[in-house]
Amino acid sequence: MFHKVAIIGGGAAAATLVSELLERRTSRPLHLDWYAGGPEAGRGIAYGTPSAQHLLNVRAASMGMFVSKPGGFLEYAQAIDPSVKGSDFLPRRLYGDFLRSRVEQALKNAGSFGHDVNVLPFTADSLVPSAEGVAIGYGDGESHAEAAVLAIGSLPPRPLPGVEDAAIASGRYVVDPWPFLANAVPDDRPLRVLVIGLGLTAVDVLLELSARWPNAHFDALSRHGKLPEPHLATASAPADDGGELVDSMRDDPNIRTWLRRLREATTNAEDWRTVIDGLRPHTQSLWRDLPRAERARFLRHARWAWERARHRMPPEVTAKIEALEQAGRLTRGRGRMRSVHLSLDGALDVARVAAGGVDVVQSYDIVIQTVGLNTDTQRTEHPLIRQLVIGGHVTPDSLGLGLKAEPNGQLHDGNDRPRSNLFAIGSLLRGALWESTAIPEIRKQAQALANLLLADDKHR
């Protein structure tokens, strides 16, 4: 086993892996350095929101932290409010509380297993892996571990092409919506707001700002102008285990074929959601079956449709968004943003290509970018990832989906060979696994990675 392990990151993936490691009895004590990046280790961006408007998009019964206890979150929530049901979509801030409570319990239990834990409120600035281990630089200090795990979550968002520097400098073009939401104050002015992107992040932004800015009008722009699909009001099990459909997909790993078979399956199902949910346990292995060219085709042509079908809105969120549209406060549009220019009067002039190829220019007080998860390690400004990539210590995924890795999380070095002591968990593994960001997948990764890190040498 590795006796000294460093975990880099302070979000849910890091918290889950830390808890997995510390709750185990090992042949020798484990020394764990957790570079959590701040005092609120475990919440990360996803579960750090204080807003009651922001709900989980997975039902409470499926949000447990451990594979061995998938109902752990439901038990936690019911201890606070006995009326909570397993089918409920609960606030993300409550899930953040749950993560914090489980981490704190794991840290308390560590001593009884002989483990030594050092939680550092720093980010790691550099990692230099070698045959002897991993050198870690942070602040003015330096440390060493036998193995390190990157659990840093989504990379910082980058401005879209065509956005002028002056627009960003004005503060009116928002690249990262989460700090903006945290500091947004109530405003009664008739603001004109554009949201670029229509995924779940856009939905969170619209819910929060429409409540704080009651007289604002929101335009939302995306390639297809479609919101995420809604969940059913009541929980439903998959129609079957997906076996027949999965087998037919494995026989011909081709996106066109897969889409045709999915259409056939959803047409014949009582509800299309049961087909998508039946695929979930097989998605990672199906992704591994796809040749690179087919993965690229999926990203170009089918990703948007898969994302809106797979990552759905809770029914109560759907109702609120529909109410905004019916009240005339939200208008959705199809098209592509071409440029954002700061005008002399301080407004943002947004040029976009609308449906049919027509150029349209409109002015807004605020433009908020909500285009989803950033996993492009080749172009990121994240200091640690840049250091690893430039130093040749890791290989970026060729399709911009994190880092090149084995399915077990082993990262590839600059020569595209798997490393024995540098790993990742979560969104950096999208290239290897595709489905790699939700808690049901994260907890499986954490369990498997803990097994690997703590295995006897002959079993590793």
Structural domain spans, the chain: 4-156+374-459, 165-229+312-369, 243-310
Q: Give the pLDDT confidence score for residue 110 in this predicted structure.
A: 93
Flag whether pLDDT at 459 surpasses 80.
Answer: no
For residues 20-41, average pLDDT: 90
- Euclidean distance between CA atoms 317 and 207, whole angstroms: 8
Length of the chain: 460
**Is it true that 4-156+374-459 and 165-229+312-369 share their CATH fold?**
yes
Mean pLDDT of the chain: 94
pLDDT at 457: 54
**pLDDT of 208-224, one tens digit each?**
999 999 999 999 999 99
Looking at domain 4-156+374-459, its CATH class is alpha beta
Q: What is the pLDDT of residue 172?
A: 97
Identify whether the C-beta of residue 38 lies closer than 8 Å to the C-beta of residue 147.
no
What's the rounded Cα separation, in Å, for the pair 50 and 457?
44
Other residues' Cβ atoms within 10 Å of the Cβ of residue 327: 9
Q: Could you tell me the strand order of the sheet in which 133-138 lies?
A: 126-130, 133-138, 141-145
Q: Which of 257, 351, 373 is nearest to 307 (CA)?
A: 373
pLDDT for position 314 = 97
In this prediction, residue 238 has a pLDDT band, given cuts at 50, 70 and 90, of low
* For the chain, percent of residues with pLDDT exceeding 90: 87
In this predicted structure, the answer to whether residue 239 has a pLDDT above a threshold of 60 is: no
In the prediction, which pLDDT does 355 show?
72
Residue in 129, 137, 97, 143 with CA at minimum distance from that of residue 424: 129
Q: pTM of the entire structure?
A: 0.93
Give tens-digit pLDDT for 339-372. 999 999 999 999 999 777 788 999 999 999 999 8
The reported pLDDT for the residue numbered 431 is 97
358 beta partners? none
Q: Output the 3-class SS for the chain.
A: CCCEEEEECCCHHHHHHHHHHHCCCCCCCCEEEEECCCCCCCCCCCCCCCCCCCECCCCHHHCCCECCECCHHHHHHHHHCCCCCCCCCCEHHHHHHHHHHHHHHHHHHHHHHCCEEEEECCCCCEEEEECCEEEEEECCEEEEECEEEECCCCCCCCCCCCECHHHHHCCCEECCHHHHHHHCCCCCCCCEEEEECCCHHHHHHHHHHHHHCCCCEEEEEECCCCCCCECCCCCCCCCCCCHHHHHHHHHCCCHHHHHHHHHHHHHHCCCHHHHHHHHHHHHHHHHHHCCHHHHHHHHHHCHHHHHHHHCCECHHHHHHHHHHHHCCCEEEEEEEEEEEEECCCCCEEEEEEECCCCEEEEEECEEEECCCCCCCCCCCCCHHHHHHHHCCCCCECCCCCCECECCCCEEECCCCCEEEEEEECCHHHHHHHCCCCCHHHHHHHHHHHHHHHHCCHHHC
99-110 residue pLDDT tens:
999 999 999 999
Q: Which is higher by pLDDT, 111 or 295?
A: 295
- Mean pLDDT for the stretch of residues 420-426: 97
Identity of the residue numbered 206: L
The pLDDT tens digits of the residues spanning 46-75 come to 898 999 999 999 999 999 999 989 999 999
Q: Which residues contact 153 (CB under 8 A, 6 or more apart)?
A: 9, 11, 12, 13, 44, 45, 46, 426, 427
In CATH terms, 165-229+312-369 corresponds, of 3.50.50.60, 3.10.105.10, 1.10.10.10, 3.40.50.2000, to: 3.50.50.60
pLDDT class for 458, splitting at 50, 70, 90? very low
